[in-house]
Amino acid sequence: MTVQSYSHCHHALTDPEIRASLNSHTEDGLTSEEVARRYEKYGRNELQFKPGKPAWLRFLLQFNQPLLYILLLAGIVKAVLGSWTNAGVIWGVTLINAVIGYVQEAKAEGAIASLAKAVTTETTVLREGQPLRIPSRDLVPGDLVLLTSGDKVPADLRLLQVRNLQVDESALTGESVPVEKSVQVLPAETPLAERHNMAYAGSFVTFGQGRGLVVATANATEMGQISRSMENRVSLTTPLTRKFEKFSRTLLYVILPLAACTLVVGLGQGESWIDMFEAAVALAVSAIPEGLPAVVTITLAIGVNRMAKRHAIIRKLPAVEALGSATMICSDKTGTLTENQMTVQAIYAGGQSYRVSGGGYSPHGDITGSDNEGTLDATALPPALAGCLAAGILCNDSQLKQTGTDWSVVGDPTEGALIAAAEKAGLSQAGLMTAMPRMDAIPFESEYQYMATLHEAQSRIIYVKGAVEALLSRCTQMLDAQGQAIALDADLIKQAVDHLAGQGLRVLAFAQKWQRAISTRSTMSTSLPIWCFWGYRA
């Protein structure tokens, strides 16, 4: 089996070029015989790790510190001289230090090894013209993969067809917002985060459909490169380890001459050799801070545990001290310092402003007015606010999922934030969907910058969500504080948008229209706008 080696410029190739480079058929997929040949050549689509150091060696390496050398040597001398109690104490301190370091680093290694599961899933491929559902580990380069909403991308793909396809690539780029994909050929120097005609292993499809050719599997994927970089074992040197080594050497240079001087002076005064040797060893051992290695290791272990609770893996204990010594953090625009969650924080509806508390996708929180008039619930919502929240929960293709005390979104993160905001006011997605079942929908399209759904209630109602500019051009009225339709004041809306955008919030607009039927997009030209604003919660 050979190691897969591909160029990483598939985004710069046209469809005929990518088909020729992979010797693949973009209509029927690979044949069974070709799959078998490629499977023999490239192996399973699984991350492969180099064999790690054996456990006994990793444990012995915990003693690889100059100060511990001195302690171990002192313990041996004490044992030879018959001072087993002192020798046991010294060895016990070094053993505890080694055990703590070994356990913490073993946990980190285990967490890193779990990265291999990131590409283990099932996927739909087209082989010999037939769609098949197979484990992702059975994929080979040149396979034709079909993607739908909710799928995990099983390998690095060059997209050939997309339909409103959006992919969450936060694991690779740190970008919280799903990326809208296309099939346009890109320049070879395009950075990874902007390769919109590629889908990478480990990312998730949040919306739409797509079809792509497998261009890299296993360790040849971008996720595989991350795995290999984490696998590299280098000698870790931090400010703490350098100071610790310098202190150990200084202590050694001071202790050994003093012990030798004590031995020589004692022998010169006629003392016995054994008594003076014991005195010299006692001086050396007493000058060594036996508890220092254990104290340092325990302190670092506490820091590692605190970082682990915040989902940060620290492989080597001293690394946590280096992180604590950082005086400046430089981050790019991709949202590296966010929690990869969207949260509604402010709402503007009916000329009134509202604040939303709570974080993440948990439906626990409150909606309060700008004048702190108290928490609002479903029985006392102003008409415009109620319509705004209903639009966000009905014009929506996502769902919230609870696992223990944690909440996550199945689908688009933005839509998950809208559901959570509505449920904080007491509105239920299941209840509204039952009372106002969906009859039809227009999925989001980048060309129009909005999504629309048609629901059946006392009469038919259309809900729309999208970019402010897209909805403003299609609306002629707005709702006031009492829920009455008034003439649209575009300047007032733009002022509210600019105010909230100045706070770092992203802006999303909603509109509704009672209608007997929906036929074309132009029927929404007289819809009633309701405005909702949301943003990141870091």
Highest mean predicted confidence (pLDDT) among 82-86, 362-366, 372-376: 362-366
Measured distance CA(509)–CA(367) in Å, rounded: 18
Look at residue 99 and tell me if it is in a domain: yes
| Residue 127 confidence (pLDDT) above 80 | yes
Between the CA of residue 457 and those of 131, 168, 409, 431, 439, what are the distances in Å?
A: 39, 34, 27, 13, 11
| SS3 at position 3 | coil
Stretch 278-288: mean pLDDT, rounded? 74
> Are both 251 and 363 inside the same structural domain?
no
Is 332 among the catalytic positions? yes
Same structural domain for residues 376 and 462? yes
Tokens 């080696």, residue located? 5
Higher-confidence residue of 355 and 111: namely 355
Record the tokens describing residue 37, joined without a space. 């040949």
Question: Helices in 31-127 by DSSP H: which ranges?
Answer: 32-42, 55-60, 66-80, 84-113
* Residue 147 lies inside a defined structural domain of this protein: yes
For residue 313, the model assigns a pLDDT of: 67
Residues 156, 221 within the same domain: yes
- Domain presence at residue 44: no
Q: What is the residue whose two structure tokens read 């039927």? A: 517
In this structure, are strands 506-514 and 460-466 parallel, antiparallel, or unpaired?
antiparallel
Tokens standing for residue 262: 């004590």
Q: What is the pLDDT of residues 296-310, one digit of tens each?
A: 777 777 777 777 777
CATH of the domain at 424: 3.40.1110.10
Residue 146: pLDDT band by 50, 70, 90 thresholds? Answer: very high
Q: What is the pLDDT of residues 446-473, one digit of tens each?
A: 777 888 999 998 888 999 999 888 888 8
Between 390 and 525, the more confident residue is: 390
Same-domain pairing of 306 and 263: yes
Same domain, 362 and 431: yes
Domain match, 514 and 476 both: yes
Sign of the CA dihedral running 380, 386, 389, 395: positive
Question: How many angstroms separate the CA atoms of 113 and 431, rounded?
Answer: 43
Torsion 350-356-360-362 (CA) sign: negative
Q: Is the pLDDT of residue 182 over 60?
A: yes
Question: Which tokens belong to 70?
Answer: 């001195």
| Cα–Cα distance list, 421 to 52, 389, 417, 449, 534 (Å) | 47, 7, 6, 22, 10
Asked whether the predicted pLDDT for residue 429 surpasses 80, the reply is yes
388 shares its domain with 500: yes
Across the beta sheet with 506-514, the strand order is 367-369, 352-356, 342-349, 528-536, 506-514, 460-466, 450-456, 438-445
Contact 101, 296 (CB under 8 A): no
- CATH number of the domain that residue 159 is part of: 2.70.150.10
Whole-number Å distance between alpha carbons of 267 and 338: 69
- Provide, rounded to the nearest whole percent, the portion of the chain with pLDDT above 70: 82
**144 pLDDT above the threshold of 90:** yes
The residue from 229, 250, 279 where one domain ends is: 229
Q: Is residue 42 part of a domain?
A: no
Residue 290 pLDDT = 63
pLDDT at 1: 40
Take residue 71 and report the two structure tokens written for it: 């302690």
**What's the rounded Cα separation, in Å, for the pair 167 and 148?**
10
Take residue 38 and report the two structure tokens written for it. 């490629």
57/436: higher pLDDT: 436
- DSSP-H helix ranges across 232-290: 239-268, 273-287
Task: Please list, residue by residue across 331-363, b when 16 or more beta carbons sit within 10 angstroms of its beta carbon and e when fewer do.
Answer: eeebbeebebbbbbbbbbbbbebbebebebbbb
Cβ proximity of 205 and 155 under 8 Å: no
Q: Same domain, yes or no, for 180 and 281?
A: no
User: Helices 84-113 and 66-80 meet at what angle, rounded to 10?
Assistant: 140
Give the pLDDT of residue 183. 92
Q: How far is CA 347 from the centre of its chain?
A: 27
Is the model's pLDDT at 114 over the cut of 70? Answer: no
Of 229, 249, 264, the last residue of a domain is 229
- State how far the Cα of 215 lies from the Cα of 21, in Å rounded to an integer: 9
Residue 332 domain flag: no
| Minimum mean pLDDT range among 35-44, 59-68, 81-90, 106-115 | 106-115
Say if residue 404 is in the same domain as residue 525.
yes
CB 171 within 8 A of CB 210: no
46 within some domain:
no
Distance, CA of 78 to CA of 90 (rounded, Å):
9
pLDDT of 538 reads: 34
> Does residue 514 share a domain with residue 374?
yes
Structural contact between residues 344 and 418, judged by C-beta atoms closer than 8 angstroms: yes
pLDDT at 115: 52
Q: Domain limits at 73? A: 55-113+234-324
Residue 438's Cβ-side half-sphere holds a number of Cα atoms within 13 Å equal to: 18
| 394 pLDDT tier (thresholds 50, 70, 90) | very high
Mean pLDDT of the chain: 79
Q: If you average pLDDT over residues 244-266, what whole number do you get?
A: 82
Q: 177 vs 419, which has greater pLDDT?
A: 419
Q: How far apart are CA 468 and CA 529, in angstroms?
A: 10
Same domain, 27 and 130: yes
Q: Where are the strands (E) in 115-268, listed by range? A: 122-127, 130-135, 144-148, 156-168, 179-180, 198-199, 204-216
Distances from the Cα of 182 to the Cα of 16, 141, 186, 399, 473, angstroms: 17, 21, 10, 26, 26
One domain, residues 263 and 361? no
Q: Residue 331 falls within a domain, yes or no?
A: no
Each residue's pLDDT tens digit, 461-511: 999 999 888 888 888 888 888 888 888 888 888 888 888 888 888 889 999
CB neighbour list of residue 339: distance below 8 Å, 6 or more residues apart = 360, 537, 538
What is the spatial distance between Cα 33 and Cα 23, in angstroms, rounded to a whole number?
Answer: 13
| Separation of CA 422 from chain center | 25
**Chain-centre distance of CA 299, in angstroms?**
27
The two tokens of residue 386 are 């109620």
Top-confidence residue, 523 or 398: 398
Task: Tell me the average pLDDT across 274-303.
Answer: 73
Number of domains in the chain: 3
Q: Out of 209, 229, 249, pick the residue that ends a domain.
A: 229
Check whether 257 has a pLDDT greater than 60.
yes
DSSP annotation of 153 reads: P
Judged against a pLDDT cut of 70, whether residue 118 lies above it is answered with no
Give yes or no for residue 355 having a pLDDT over 60: yes
User: Using CB atoms within 10 A of its CB, is residue 223 exposed (0-12), middle (13-18) or buried (19+)?
Assistant: buried
- Residue 333 falls within a domain, yes or no? no
pLDDT over 70 at 6, yes or no: no
pLDDT of 334 reads 47
Res. 324 pLDDT band, cuts 50 70 90: confident
Is the pTM of the predicted complex or chain greater than 0.85?
A: no
pLDDT score at 174? 73
> What distance in Å separates the CA atoms of residue 1 and residue 244, rounded to the nearest whole number?
46
pLDDT value, residue 200: 93
Question: Which of these is catalytic: 28, 143, 156, 332?
Answer: 332
